[in-house]
Amino acid sequence: MTLATQALDLLADRPLVVLTGAGLSTDSGIPDYRGPNSPARLPMTYQEFVSGPAAQQRYWARSHLGWGRMRGADPNPGHHALAAIAPELLITQNVDGLHERAGTERLVALHGRIADVVCLGCRRTSARAALQARLAALNPGFAERYADVAVRPDGDVDLDETAGFVVPGCAACGGVLKPHVVFFGENVPAPRVERCYAAVDALAETGGTLLVAGSSLTVMSGFRFVRRAAKSGVPVVIVNRGATRGDELATVKLEVGCSEFLAELSASRAAA
């Protein structure tokens, strides 16, 4: 029996919880952090972001360019396959919103969504599209000057020339605006974590499986659910090109493309 057959047997007719990472969105044109041949990337930490106006200027200048391209990405066959599978819960570490656009409903966006903005002063949330329009008006020609810079997976770009970029404050109180996502150095809100733990724990009672798709599991925010499943005796299937932190805990590990495997899984479940 091949590894792919073993994986499909564990997934075809059982309750599923699915954990996805950046590797699932590469087929939509969004690069990942740690896949094969991915360059080293050091995302801005929360502590750096709140350190002062210079860091915020650097972040928003880069994000202004990157988000303008990220919002043009479309869900790929992997996203659509997961929407058709409709797992008990889909936990995504991605902030791109592509699972939602593909139609997945039972979902926890573990790290938030890049399409939302929050004020660190009054905590008002607003649409990223509205801020994008304000940034464009305050910085005419900026996007055109840097049209060829490389996009990064967290919705920004590789760019050092950010001096002079104008960043507006909150439209309600003038406070500092931050993307409504969990930065490195921040904690995932506890209610999100508890909902995910509950879904993983339920798999032990229902004979279900945890599927990881497109994540290296390098950060604890996702890896903890693999540890929880393995400790409870829940089978873990990992589909990812390249090694992951959870490989030793996996029942089956496949190094294949996410879109292709998920499309096959969707078809097998539909036929079951």
Q: Which residues are catalytic?
A: 111
Question: Taking the CA of residue 82 as centre, how many other CA atoms within 13 Å lie in the half-sphere pointing to its CB?
Answer: 32
Give the pair of three-digit tokens for residue 163: 């001096």
213 vs 236: CA distance, rounded Å: 11
| Cβ(1)–Cβ(207) below 8 Å | no
Q: Is 119 annotated as a binding residue?
A: yes
Reduced to 3 states (helix: H, G, I; strand: E, B; else coil), residue 181 is strand
Q: Is 258 annotated as a binding residue?
A: no
Strand runs (DSSP E) across 21-135, as ranges? Answer: 89-92, 107-109, 112-119, 125-127
228 vs 19: CA distance, rounded Å: 13
Question: Taking the CA of residue 257 as centre, how many other CA atoms within 13 Å lie in the half-sphere pointing to its CB?
Answer: 12
**Annotated binding-site ranges:** 119, 122, 170, 173
**Annotated binding-site ranges for Zn(2+):** 119, 122, 170, 173
